[in-house]
Amino acid sequence: MSPIRRALVAAIAFAPLASFGQPRFNYSELKPPQPVESPGKIEVIEFFWYGCIHCYNLEPLIESWEKKLPADVQFWRVPAVFNERWAQDAAIFYSFEALGVLDKLHRPFFDAIHRERLNTANQQVLAEWLQKQGVDPKKFFDTLKSFGVQSRTRRATQQSIAYKIDGTPAMAVHGRYTVSAEQGGSREGCCKRSTISWSRFAKPGNADRHYRRLLGYRRGAGAPLRLRRLGSGTDCPPPRESGSCR
């Protein structure tokens, strides 16, 4: 199996499904393929939104999976942007990154939104939360408005459109394939399939068998994603086992 196919299998294994009833796993091929930013490596992107309960529920699995990635795979998170509300949270993500506190605050910020009902649209409330995390609110909001952060946010918007992302979470592999929540497997299925190691996929004689088993192989698999460039961005359903936000 090619390295990109191995990455595709892993992406499919970690894309939660909206319902448990589907026995097969689909993916979509991007046409045209998108440029990648990791020369010499296989690029895997998770498109997410801080306000998405399904992204939040997937995060522990993503964190564990990321630690086990082989050296030839580069994993990125990209905040999906469908409207101004999502753009605001994307800018917060890139502000954390610019200030060098992303690793420290990414998970606590997720927790605050979904456990403490932190309203990220309320600047005063957000400033108080930042203060508690040891971040200077003035420096943060200056960074939020900076050219660099706004440019990254616009780039995330462009990527969301180019990759035909219509909901979160979604995975993309090397600019060539995408796996939406509806095309993946349930969270329990993700956990079960994550036990199959990358090295096992790569073993001669085993690769194609595991690839076909995980994909529920059939010719022509993979219906095109529904392209929705700008959705409401607020119709994330209440917490449940799995699904997507759009």
Residue 49 near residue 89, CB atoms below 8 Å: yes
Q: Where are the domains of the chain?
A: 3-215
- What's the confidence (pLDDT) of residue 65? 84
**CA pseudo-torsion sign 50, 175, 74, 38:** negative
- What's the confidence (pLDDT) of residue 226? 31
| 3-state SS, one letter per residue, for 201-231 | HHCCCCHHHHHHHHHCCCCCCCCCCCCCCCC
- What's the confidence (pLDDT) of residue 72? 86
CATH class, range 3-215:
alpha beta
DSSP state of 71: T
Two tokens, residue 65: 């999976």
pTM of the model: 0.72
| 3-state SS, one letter per residue, for 82-124 | CCHHHHHHHHHHHHHHHCCCHHHHHHHHHHHHHHCCCCCCCHH
Verify cis geometry, omega within 30 degrees of 0, for the bond prior to 35. no
In single-letter form, the type of residue at position 139 comes to K
Measured CA angle at 186 (ends 184, 192), to 5 deg: 100
- What's the confidence (pLDDT) of residue 184? 54
Average pLDDT across each block of 10 residues of the chain; the chain has 246 residues. List them in order: 59 46 62 86 92 92 86 92 95 98 97 96 97 97 98 96 91 85 50 29 37 37 32 42 60
